[in-house]
Structure 1
Amino acid sequence: SLINTINSITSVNLDSFSPEPSIDGKGAHGGYCGPAVKPIALSMVSEIARNRETHGLPISGIGGVTTWRDAAEFMALGCGTVQVCTAAMTYGFKIVQEMISGLSQYLDERQMSVADLVGRAVPNVTDWQYLNLNYVTKAEIDQDLCIKCGRCYAACEDTSHQAIWMKEGRVFEVNDAECVACNLCIDVCPVENCITMRPLAKGEVDPRTGKTVSDYANWTTHPNNPMSQAAE
């Protein structure tokens, strides 16, 4: 069963200078839980599911499960059962029925069974050194969906590659010659599907590097890797 709560101090009272919650002026480590631990839990579940020694063992996922989508993600990474704690404490047991309804609709729409879903994503989990370094994408902004908030521009301008132009009337456009497909603009955009990543086809020229998109190559054999000659 994965995972448990994480030791944490949630805050410090700046008047009494004791960790919160405070008991007689003192505070202690507590258990951090809820949606914030979900990425950690998903990672741990995936490692158990794809490890040769533990592959095939029953996995019960827990950690930030709040919606049916959360449950489905845990199942896709190999969980046969999913547990709920923080969400039930926050919203009551009725939330479980909402999860069941949402998950059932999702499966019905795709004509999938629970067994079809469990472990479906495991083959797509790999280690970073085996990712395709020749896979090139560029961000695209849907002007019809854009609300002109400028979050993508600020994030890219100040912390990434200055690859988004702000034109007259707060129209934001991507400069393909600078875009490195870091996905930061998508992460900060408040509108779903307003910004998407467009893959460049094999043979297409990357405006940033001037190189033609070529076949799959990972870090173990990449020319930039000084150990590529000794790689497996």
Structure 2
Amino acid sequence: MTYEPVDWVSLDAEKVKNVTPRYARLRVDGNGSAKGQIIGWQNIELISDRPLEIMLKEFKQLKEEYPDRILIASIMEEYNKAGWEELIDRVEQTGVDALEINFSCPHGMPERRMGAAVGQDCALLEEVCGWINAKATVPVWAKMTPNITDITQPARVALSSGCEGVAAINTIMSVMGINLTTLRPEPCVEGYSTPGGYSAKAVHPIALAKVMNIAKLMKSEFGDTDYSLSGIGGVESGGDAAEFILLGANTVQVCTGVMMHGYGVVKKLCSELKDFMKQHNFSSIEDFRGASLEYFTTHTDLVTRQQEAIKQRKAIRKGLQSDKDWTGDGFVKETESMVSN
């Protein structure tokens, strides 16, 4: 089980130019009061503009200080085979345990065929996954975009192209809102804005649905014991994490939750998840991973199930089926059970 905010690493940070402000929040009360609970968070942030050399140094330091912990580097690069190969080689040299490939950032530099520009194009995704998996010597996760009609299509391509797992979801393309005083969009940069990625609690139900669909795909077509699934989206409690695991996730990631509540939230999440497991007498994640998947079906099947249940309840209300079923002492209730009005 992992909780991990991640940095997006690319070869050339010089090309990345971020702006400020780059975040906007959605609160539960309609007037946007600063006292309202934050349920939505939008960013128009690009990948990190921190130099690659600094990140590589930090990766190496982390593995030296915590050799028994899992470190996964989240990386993104342009549509350039040589660039991907160089980035993978340099990151792997730090000792990371796995790579998460960002095929899902919904905004920024689509002209460079990065992020969701790849994840939304299955042919392009297959090609780039081929480059990556031919080079990588550690497990590879493909991070999926929710900004697509059927998320199982790119997930299937990624797994078929050699990835050991998928992570879902990244942020959802959104417009956070309009300032009704200035008539300008948020977040406002010199009077202007651009659509960005939406996260936090409000996206949790959407993320659960996407993860459920991927988990069912993996179970039916790939064997979910051979591949891994990392659930992401609106995790702020141990219960949120448990929901992803119940839908088939092997691990759970947190980023916005840590940004809002600080690193201390990780201990809270772990503690609450352990409490959930104790409540149900689960001794490991595998004891309940995917346990809720079997309860999802089609609407047509729901109708059939309900009609059958209604028939059974009506049959029970009809009362005794034969005179031999009379009990004697309970004859008043038994008589009542056979009255029609």
Q: TM-score range by the shorter chain?
A: 0.5 to 0.7
Q: Aligned-residue CA RMSD in angstroms?
A: 2.3
Aligned to 1:50: 216
- 1:116 equivalent in structure 2: 287
SS where residue 204 of structure 1 aligns? Answer: helix
C-alpha distance in structure 1 between counterparts of 2:271 and 2:229, whole Å? 22
1:129-208 equivalences under 5 Å are 129-135=300-306, 202-204=312-314
Residue 224 (structure 1) aligns with: none
Per the alignment, residue 97 of structure 1 pairs with 267
Cα deviation 1:175-211 (Å, max 9, x = unaligned): xxxxxxxxxxxxxxxxxxxxxxxx8682338xxxxxx
Choose from 200, 206, 211 the match for 1:40: 206
TM-score, with length taken from structure 2: 0.40
Runs (5+) with no aligned partner, structure 2: 1-166, 316-341
Aligned-residue offset at 1:77: 0.3
Larger Rg, first or second structure (1 or 2): 2
What secondary structure sits across from 2:314 in the alignment? coil
The residue type equivalent to 1:203 in the other structure is R
Runs of 4+ residues deviating >4 angstroms: none
Quote how far apart the aligned CAs of 1:17 are: 2.1
Following TM superposition, by how much is the alpha carbon of 1:88 offset from its aligned partner in structure 2, in angstroms?
0.8
Q: CA offsets per residue over residues 139-164 of structure 1, 9 Å max, x none?
A: xxxxxxxxxxxxxxxxxxxxxxxxxx
5 Å matches for 1:9-48? 9-48=175-214
Structure 1 unpaired stretches of 5+: 137-198, 206-232
Give the 3 Å change call, closer, same or farther, for CA 17–36 of structure 1 in structure 2. Answer: same
Shift of 1:4: 0.7
What is the SS of the residue equivalent to 2:254?
A: coil
Superposition deviation, residue 7 in structure 1? 1.1
Q: Is the 8 A contact 1:60 1:79 kept in 2?
A: yes
Mapped partners of 2:223, 2:211: distance in 1: 11
**Counterpart in the other structure of 1:3:** 169
The aligned amino acid for 1:77 is L
1:128 aligns with 2:299: yes
Residues 53 and 102 (structure 1), Cα distance of their counterparts in 2 relative to 1, 3 Å cut: same
Deviations 1:19-59 (A, max 9, x none): 11111111111211011111111111111111222451310
2:264 and 2:215 map into 1 onto residues whose CA distance is 30
Q: Distance in 2 between matches of 1:122 and 1:15?
A: 47
Secondary structure of the equivalent of 1:135? helix
CA distance in 1 between partners of 2:265 and 2:215 (Å)? 27
Matches within 5 A, 1:59-70: 59-70=229-240
Report the Cα distance in structure 2 between the residues aligned to 1:10 and 1:91, rounded to whole angstroms.
Answer: 21
TM-score w.r.t. structure 1 length? 0.57
Q: Once the two structures are aligned, what percentage of the paired residues are identical? A: 37
